[in-house]
Structure 1
Amino acid sequence: MPTVIEVVTVVDAAPRRVFDLELDVDVHAGSLRGSRETATTSTGRRRLTLGDEATFRATHFGLPWRMTSRITAWEPPHRFVDEQTRGPFRSLHHEHHFEDLGTSATRMTDRMTVSAPLGAFGALVTRLVLAPYLRRLLKQRAAYIRRVA
């Protein structure tokens, strides 16, 4: 059973600026320094676009993790979607929405839908452990984007 995690953040910057920062793998890795995250891209560029893949390596729960995601939807500067192509989850679908609030402010909404392997046990672990952890990571990244913007 999929679990949906949503985090909404207001950023004092125009939607295009926030959109671009969210697609910069160096900004992404910088927002999660505590997990020693690194990122490589399929193109060698540091800013992703439609069809690009990024492989992220990090340490979470004291264990090394590796996940590759592809940008599967692209509507600048309003929305993009990345989806896991390889990694620890059965599926991970992450929608990024950017709403212009006027006066150079943007409502940034992260909506992540995640399904874990291992059936009912995986669903329970996702709901009790992974979802709160992922929500905290999304909030941490959003706070970093707000500072950088």
Structure 2
Amino acid sequence: MPTIALQTIIKADKKIVFDLSRSIDLHKISTAHTKEEAIAGKTSGLIELEEQVTWRAKHLGVFQTLTSKITAYQSPDYFVDEMVRGVFKRFRHEHHFSTVGSDTLLTDYFDYTAPFGILGVCMDIIFLQKYMTTLLIKRNQYIKTFAESDQWKAILNPYQKPK
């Protein structure tokens, strides 16, 4: 049961970073290289507590479907999404936001169990943990880029204006 822990400093307001992190639209942009699409549940806008989204994406050469649900939520401090259905045996992704001076510290904890028993453990050691870490780092870089420029307005303004 590996846990990936990442910290990203973002020179932007915590509420903006929080909202970008739960934006279905920004997630689609950040995962375009996997052809990721939101195909059911919440398919655009800002995901909220108890809402689900089903994603279809090509990972490791295979199209996969995964449904996750927001199971904990305290704006603008944290939210948690957990897999409801998908290829993993399970996963829980915690997103924490704290103010550091005038910046925001985004801390991710991605705790998961690979599928396929002992074969999954081997896959995790060989490539899965690195693959997932790279995916999360790339996603956080998109959040940082949008938050630190005016690009966040194109994502958030159609839904709500950060205070």
User: What band does the TM-score fall into relative to the shorter chain?
Assistant: over 0.9
| Gap regions ≥5 residues in structure 1 | none
Letter of the 1:67 partner, please give it: L
- CA distance in structure 2 between the aligned counterparts of 1:112 and 1:145, rounded to whole angstroms: 17
Question: C-alpha displacement at 1:123, in angstroms?
Answer: 1.4
TM-score, length of structure 2 as denominator length:
0.86
Question: C-alpha displacement at 1:102, in angstroms?
Answer: 2.2
Question: C-alpha displacement at 1:62, in angstroms?
Answer: 1.2
Corresponding residue of 1:117: 115
Residue correspondence of structure 1 range 29-68 to structure 2 within 5 A: 29-43=28-42, 46-68=45-67
Q: Assess, with a 3 A threshold, how the Cα gap between structure 1 residues 77 and 41 changes in structure 2: closer, same or farther.
A: farther
Corresponding residue of 2:152: none
SS of residue paired to 1:51: coil
Percent identical: 35
TM-score, length of structure 1 as denominator length:
0.94
Task: Tell me which protein shows more strand as a share of its residues.
Answer: 1
| Gap regions ≥5 residues in structure 2 | 148-163
Letter of the 1:56 partner, please give it: W
Q: List structure 1 segments (4+ residues) > 3 angstroms apart after TM superposition.
A: none
- CA distance in structure 2 between the aligned counterparts of 1:6 and 1:128, rounded to whole angstroms: 18
Q: Assess, with a 3 A threshold, how the Cα gap between structure 1 residues 15 and 114 changes in structure 2: closer, same or farther.
A: same
1:128 to 126, 129, 146: 126
Computed over aligned residues only, the root mean square deviation of the Cα atoms, in angstroms, reads: 1.2
C-alpha contact 2:24 2:43 (8 A) present in aligned 1? no
